[in-house]
Amino acid sequence: GHDGKANDSSKANGHDGKANGHDRARADSLIRAPSPPTACELERRAGGDAARVATIAGAVSTILGALGEDPERPGLQRTPTRLAELLVDCTSGYGQTVETVLNGAVFEEDYSEMVVVRDIALYSLCEHHVVPFFGKCHIAYVPKGKVLGLSKLARIAEMYARRLQVQERLTTQIARAVMDAVDPQGVGVVVEATHMCMCMRGARATSSSTVTSAVLGSFRSDQRTRNEFFANIGRPRMC
Report pLDDT digits (tens) over 5-21.
444 433 434 444 444 55
Handedness of CA 43, 33, 137, 150 (dihedral sign): negative
The average pLDDT across 33-60 equals 92
* Residue 33 pLDDT > 80: no
| Averaged pLDDT of the chain | 88
Catalytic residue among 41, 69, 85, 129: 129
* Residue 26 pLDDT > 70: no
Residue 86: in which H helix or E strand, if any?
helix 79-90
Distances in Å between the alpha carbon of 72 and those of 58, 62, 64, 69, 82?
A: 12, 11, 10, 9, 14
pLDDT score, position 203: 76
Q: Which residues contact 96 (CB under 8 A, 6 or more apart)?
A: 159, 162
Residue 126: in which H helix or E strand, if any?
strand 115-126
Q: For residue range 163-212, what is the model confidence (pLDDT) as tens digits? A: 999 999 999 999 999 999 999 999 999 999 999 988 888 778 778 899 99
Catalytic residue among 137, 165, 195, 228: 195
In the residue annotation, 195 being an active-site residue is answered as: yes
Q: Phi first, then psi: give them for residue 12, nearest 5 degrees.
A: -65, -30
CA 150 to CA 116: how far, in whole Å? 9
pTM of the model: 0.84
In the residue annotation, 239 being an active-site residue is answered as: no
* Residue predicted with more confidence, 6 or 85: 85
Q: For residue range 207-222, what is the model confidence (pLDDT) as tens digits? A: 889 999 999 999 999 9
pLDDT score, position 232: 96
Catalytic residue among 96, 165, 167, 185: 167
Q: Which residues pair with 195 in a beta bridge?
A: 133
In the residue annotation, 126 being an active-site residue is answered as: yes
**Around Cβ 60, how many Cβ atoms within 10 Å?**
19
* Residue 44 pLDDT > 80: yes
pLDDT score, position 85: 98
